[in-house]
Amino acid sequence: MRDFTWSHGQKKAARVAFDLASQRDTQAIRREVEGMLQNSKDARVVWQIEDYLYERRREHDRVFDYRYSVLIFVFAGLVRDSLLSEEELEGIGQEKVEAIRAMLSIR
Amino acid sequence: MRDFTWSHGQKKAARVAFDLASQRDTQAIRREVEGMLQNSKDARVVWQIEDYLYERRREHDRVFDYRYSVLIFVFAGLVRDSLLSEEELEGIGQEKVEAIRAMLSIR
């Protein structure tokens, strides 16, 4: 895949989309933790929460990698996982959105 | 410190007290986690919760060591930390409760 160039405005749009997806992922984790607490009267549920958060944090840190060299793949994964819509990526440039769409059509 | 002997009944009482203290500690951790969630609208509070649980679990596992060779020291620590009262340890035998009291008077 060819290298993409990022204009100042495209970088700003990328950051907004990236942070939005990160927030959505974190919010989903929070809801899961709240659900675990609500569904258990046993205090030891905190150890299940710790296991869950440990795994989810590793996953989160692995996925949310803001390097321009990999960002197009990151965004493709976020669209696939419904953490971003293609529309929310419009600001990063038409050619990049099309590359993402091409990637997602392969699977 | 001399080795203590544990009768069957004293072992049962020790287990009950140990589990009670463990439950109280875990319950306190749960309340802390619930408080952190209640006091923060930011979903990223889950990462603070993960850090908190990681530390507290290490501490919990270190403290709650059910080997008869160390149990008297474990109980002394639990009384000091208000996770058990001396009265709740009555069943483990008068000589052990006195040893615990002696330990706690040193500090």
* Token digits of residue B107: 């500090």
Q: What is the pTM of this model?
A: 0.88
Q: Residues 6 or more apart from B30 whose CB is under 8 A from it?
A: A37, A43, A45, A46
| Chain B positions in Cβ-Cβ contact with residue A56 (cut-off 8 Å) | 46
Distance CA A71, CA A82 (A): 16
How do residues A42-85 score in pLDDT, each as one tens digit?
999 999 999 999 999 999 999 999 999 999 999 999 999 999 99
How do residues B4-54 score in pLDDT, each as one tens digit?
999 999 999 999 999 999 999 999 999 999 999 999 999 999 999 999 999
Distance CA B7, CA A96 (A): 74
Q: Where would I find the H helices in A8-93? A: 8-38, 45-63, 71-80
Q: What is the mean pLDDT of residues A95-104?
A: 95
Instruction: Report yes or no: B70 at the A interface, CB cutoff 8 Å.
Output: no
Identify the band that residue B2 occupies on the pLDDT scale cut at 50, 70 and 90. Answer: low
